[in-house]
Structure 1
């Protein structure tokens, strides 16, 4: 979530339906088709979608960062608030100076996990059960950090949280407990040595025996192998030049990635060799995209409208082919 302090403004709707792509499908047609905004949100109410997890029925669970909420959006665009994190009277979060809900991960049993950054003892990972009970904090993270993206490895029973300020990937038992600084390196830190600005490690995903992390300041996509004993291997840089990258998603079993480039209002296709090209732009309806999710041939892109200051939304588009690499 780069440049979050610009959150402000009044919601409005302005959508175009054209496609720009330099990554054609085999037939020469654009890679994505029929982009459309399925839900518009209220910027003034803090409905700034930051991260996304998909439900089996095709609906999307979104974190509304400024409202401290998790909401479910149906394929038809109906929006329902699932949970609200407790208010923090005196937030002191580095960089953003507010209490914000960032990453989200969904377990197969429907349990949701989110990161909450407050600069107080509430900073950490929170669990939202299927029974409708109030969110519960299951792990505390350092108050001088900013936990951002979140990923769940159900096979190993652990969560990974990317800290954008401390340049750390935290590993947390799924059932809660003491976090471990699983990976910590300069490649994960913000470009600035100061802790008053900049976003380092941001999005995080578990994919093919590795933890993948984006660094917003450095415009990089990183891969960290998970060793047999669960420890972190050497960090590999898989792509560069992804200015303002936020979160990302894998459209298939290979290492092709769709990345949200929030600052330039684009979604990029990142190939296994690290080259990349633009597949969605602002004219398609993007409004500062913050994350990406893919199921089958449907691509979901939430937008927080941090710089556009209008029309935070959820956009969907259709892929013209599957990805195996």
Structure 2
């Protein structure tokens, strides 16, 4: 999630960070093809898609950050793409004082195999934490409280261990809580997860942001440091030493693994790009504003279909959901 404009002002400037150095895709064999925008959302209504979880039928569940909503969007490549249905709305908070964003926002989302959805909610009040939304779209219930002076952002689910992991962008911490709910514990922390400054009014206040559980490790992006980190999951469930797996990813938000390997597709919010980061560190820009990106905040992959929600938090133009096709099977990326 990028820094949001204050309620009483126009959009703030984007972070002043360098454009990612990336190896260009060849003109003869692009890695991504058939990109198209399948849904456009209402900026004035707060329909700013921040994070995404996929349903078994290929449709998508999105968090509309500013509207405090979880929405279902048909996006499976069929003729009825783009139909939006609100599943749930998080409770309003009278005096939200979320650090950096200064309002209540719904951020990360994950979906369990049984259809239950979990979301991160940041308010600056006791409502800050992880909330559960029943599979039928019933009323959200808070299952864990997180520090009100933090900003829980990306969310990951490890169903094998029945654990949720939330990346806190302000406190530079990965919180862990049982999927059944309870007390959250600080699973990982340190300089590499922190923002460059703790000043809530600064655009350098975004540290840990996107997060995924992949191959016995928890992976975390740090937006302002432009890094992708890997924390091994030890046998007892604790965090192993952090490994820096990629650098130079200015403005990285959330990301996804297109296969079982270590290649990553990452949303670069500042430059409105999606990049493929290979295991050897080489990078290729695969989608840009020309394809319709407008401050993309997350990425999801199902088979050879790529999903990219754009929140338009800074551009203030065309929040949307884009679909594209991977040219190669995931294992070849």
TM-score (norm 2): 0.91
Q: Secondary structure at the match of 2:270?
A: helix
Contact 2:306 2:324 in 1 (8 A): yes
Match 2:216 to one of 209, 213, 217: 209
Counterpart in the other structure of 2:133: 128
Alignment of 1:73-152 (within 5 A): 73-75=73-75, 76-152=81-157
Match 1:199 to one of 200, 206, 216: 206
Match 1:22 to one of 21, 24, 34: 24
CA distance in 2 between partners of 1:194 and 1:100 (Å): 19
Count residues in correspondence. 314
Any gaps of 5 or more consecutive residues in structure 2?
12-21, 76-80
Contact 1:23 1:269 in 2 (8 A): no
Match 2:309 to one of 297, 302, 305: 302
Shift of 1:196: 3.5
Shift of 1:297: 0.5
Any gaps of 5 or more consecutive residues in structure 1?
11-19
Shift of 1:24: 4.5
Match 2:286 to one of 263, 268, 279: 279
CA distance in 2 between partners of 1:238 and 1:203 (Å): 14
CA distance in 2 between partners of 1:142 and 1:267 (Å): 31
Alignment of 1:1-325 (within 5 A): 1-5=1-5, 22-24=24-26, 28-75=28-75, 76-197=81-202, 198-324=205-331
User: Residues 109-153 of structure 1: CA distance to partner in whole angstroms, max 9, x if unpaired?
Assistant: 000000000000000000000233200000000000000000000
Contact 2:23 2:282 in 1 (8 A): no
User: Cα RMSD between the aligned structures?
Assistant: 1.7
Q: Which runs of 4+ in 1 moved over 4 A?
A: 6-10
Shift of 1:195: 3.9
Shift of 1:156: 0.2
